[in-house]
C-alpha cells in the first residue's frame, strides 16, 4: 500500500500520457491499474480529452480490452470503446484472412515470409486479434524473392501503390514497397526486403540473423515465420526510434508486451550484442531503459546497467540525428550512407529528377506540359521538415 500511495501521489500531478501508461501496464501489473483507478475517481478527470488522446494513439481497442470489466469507465465511453473493439475485431479478422491467402500462395511457390509488426503481434503476443489495431500487413521477404512475390500478389489482385521515381529505384535504394487491394475492406500489403529505411542501415542492418532465428508458426492456418524474442526486441526498438522518432505509445506497448509475455527467457546478452553489431545502440538503449523505468517491465538490473553505459558509434549518431530533419538533409543522409560515389550519384539524380510518370502521380499535375515546372517545386518542398 505504501508503494501504491507513492505512485498515486506522483501520478496525480501529471497529465494523461502517464495515466495511459498505468492503464496499459494493467495488462501485467494489477497494481498499476489500481493506481489509475484512484487517479480517475479522486480527480476531476477530463474523459473527453483522454478519449481523443487514446484514439490518436490507436489504443482504443486495447484500452477497452483492459478496462471492460472495470466499474470506473463511464457508460458512454464504455459503449464507444466496445464498438471500436468489435469493429477492430471484424477488420482484423478480414485482414488476417487475407494475410492467410497471401502466405499460402507464397508457400505454394516456395517463398519464405516473416510476418512483422501488428499481424505478428496481435495473436501471438497480445493473444487477442481485436486488441491490437492494425493499419496494414507487413511482410519481410528475401531480396531475391521480390520479383516472384510481386507476381504472386499481383495474381491475388494487388496493385503497386504509387509510381517508382525511376524503374528499379525501390529495389535498389528503398527497403519496402506497398501494394494494395480493394474489397470488403481495403488491404495494404507492405513488402519489406530490408528492415529499416535510412540508407546507412540498409547497408549495415543485415537480415541474416533475423531469418536464422525466426520461429515457424501458422497464421490463419497458413505457414509463416515470426521473429524470435531477441530479434523482435531489436527490430521493434529500431522501428520505433528510426521511423517514429520514439513518439508512439502503441509501439512502446508492443515492446513492453513482447517482454512481459515472452513465452521463453530472453537472452539479454544477445540483445545487447546485436544492438552493437547493427549500430542500434541508441535505439535499443533508449527504448529499453524507458520501458524499464516507465512501464515497469522486468528487465534485470544487470542488463539495465549494461544498457546505460553503452556508447554508440559516430556513424550511428549521425544517422540517428538526421532523422526527422528537413527532407533535403534526409537526402544527404542517404548519400552519406551509400556504399560508393556511383551509388550516391544514382540516388541524387533519381531523387532530384524522378520520372515524368512519378511526378504526375505524386503531385497530381493536371497536364503533362506542366510537369517540368514541378521539379523546382519538388526541390523547394525538400526544405520542409520531415514528419515522424
The full DSSP string for 56-89 is HTT-HHHHHHHHTT-TTS-HHHHHHHHHHHHHHH
Q: Where in the sequence is the domain holding 162, given as residue range(s)?
A: 89-227
Are 106 and 208 part of one and the same domain? yes
Are 175 and 125 part of one and the same domain? yes
Are 98 and 212 part of one and the same domain? yes
Burial (0-12, 13-18, 19+ Cβ within 10 Å), 91: middle
Are 34 and 147 part of one and the same domain? no
Are 113 and 220 part of one and the same domain? yes
Query: Could you tell me which residue, 203 or 32, shows the higher pLDDT?
Result: 32
176-181/159-160 β-pairing: antiparallel
Last residue of a domain, one of 203, 227, 251: 227
Are 132 and 194 part of one and the same domain? yes
Residues in the chain: 388
Q: Show Cβ contacts of residue 365 under 8 Å, excluding neighbours closer than 6 positions.
A: 359, 371, 374
Least trusted range by pLDDT, from 5-9, 245-249, 329-333: 5-9
Are 151 and 54 part of one and the same domain? no
Average pLDDT of the chain? 87
Decide if 265 is inside a domain.
Answer: no
The pLDDT of residue 9 is: 43
Secondary-structure breakdown of the chain: helix, strand, coil percentages, each rounded to the nearest 5: 60, 10, 30
What b/e sequence results for 219-232 when a residue is b if at least 16 CB atoms lie within 10 Å of its CB, and e otherwise? bbebebbbbbbbbb
The pLDDT of residue 357 is: 85
Decide if 368 is inside a domain.
Answer: yes
Count the domains in the chain: 3
- What number is the average pLDDT over the span 67-85? 94
**Beta carbons of 190 and 367 less than 8 angstroms apart:** no
The pLDDT of residue 168 is: 76
Residue percentage of the chain with pLDDT more than 90: 58
Decide if 256 is inside a domain.
Answer: no
Amino acid at each position: 500500500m505504501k508503494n501504491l500511495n507513492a505512485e498515486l501521489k506522483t501520478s496525480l500531478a501529471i497529465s494523461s500520457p502517464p495515466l495511459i501508461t498505468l492503464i496499459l501496464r494493467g495488462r501485467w501489473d494489477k497494481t498499476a491499474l489500481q493506481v489509475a483507478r484512484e487517479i480517475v475517481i479522486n480527480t476531476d478527470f477530463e474523459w473527453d480529452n483522454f478519449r481523443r488522446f487514446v484514439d490518436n494513439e490507436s489504443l482504443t481497442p486495447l484500452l477497452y480490452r483492459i478496462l471492460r470489466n472495470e466499474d470506473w469507465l463511464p457508460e458512454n465511453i464504455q459503449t464507444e470503446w466496445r464498438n471500436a473493439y468489435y469493429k477492430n475485431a471484424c477488420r482484423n479478422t478480414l485482414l488476417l484472412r487475407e494475410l492467410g491467402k497471401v502466405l499460402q500462395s507464397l508457400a505454394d511457390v516456395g517463398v519464405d515470409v516473416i510476418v512483422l509488426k501488428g499481424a505478428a503481434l496481435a495473436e501471438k503476443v497480445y493473444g487477442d486479434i481485436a486488441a491490437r489495431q492494425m493499419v496494414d500487413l507487413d511482410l519481410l521477404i528475401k531480396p531475391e524473392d521480390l520479383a516472384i512475390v510481386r507476381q504472386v500478389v499481383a495474381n491475388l489482385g494487388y496493385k503497386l501503390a504509387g509510381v517508382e521515381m525511376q524503374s528499379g529505384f525501390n529495389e535498389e535504394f528503398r527497403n519496402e514497397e506497398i501494394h494494395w487491394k480493394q474489397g470488403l475492406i481495403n488491404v495494404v500489403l507492405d513488402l519489406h526486403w530490408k528492415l529499416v529505411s535510412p540508407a546507412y542501415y540498409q547497408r549495415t542492418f543485415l537480415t541474416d540473423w533475423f531469418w536464422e532465428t525466426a520461429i515457424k508458426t501458422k497464421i490463419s492456418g497458413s505457414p509463416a515465420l515470426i521473429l524470435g524474442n531477441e530479434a523482435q526486441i531489436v527490430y521493434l526498438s529500431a522501428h520505433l526510434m528510426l521511423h517514429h522518432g520514439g513518439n508512439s505509445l502503441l509501439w512502446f506497448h508492443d515492446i513492453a508486451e513482447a517482454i512481459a509475455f515472452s513465452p521463453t527467457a530472453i537472452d539479454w546478452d544477445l540483445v545487447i550484442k546485436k544492438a552493437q553489431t547493427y549500430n542500434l545502440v541508441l535505439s535499443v538503449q533508449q527504448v529499453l531503459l524507458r520501458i524499464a523505468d516507465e512501464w515497469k517491465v522486468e528487465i534485470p538490473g544487470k542488463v539495465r546497467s549494461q544498457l546505460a553505459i553503452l556508447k554508440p558509434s559516430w556513424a550511428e549518431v549521425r544517422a540517428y540525428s538526421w532523422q526527422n530533419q528537413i527532407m533535403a538533409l534526409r537526402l544527404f543522409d542517404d548519400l552519406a550512407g551509400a556504399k560508393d560515389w556511383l551509388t550516391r550519384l544514382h540516388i541524387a539524380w533519381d531523387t532530384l529528377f524522378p520520372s515524368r510518370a512519378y511526378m504526375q502521380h505524386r503531385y497530381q499535375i493536371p497536364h503533362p506540359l506542366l510537369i517540368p515546372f514541378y521539379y523546382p517545386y519538388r526541390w523547394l518542398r525538400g526544405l520542409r521538415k520531415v514528419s515522424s
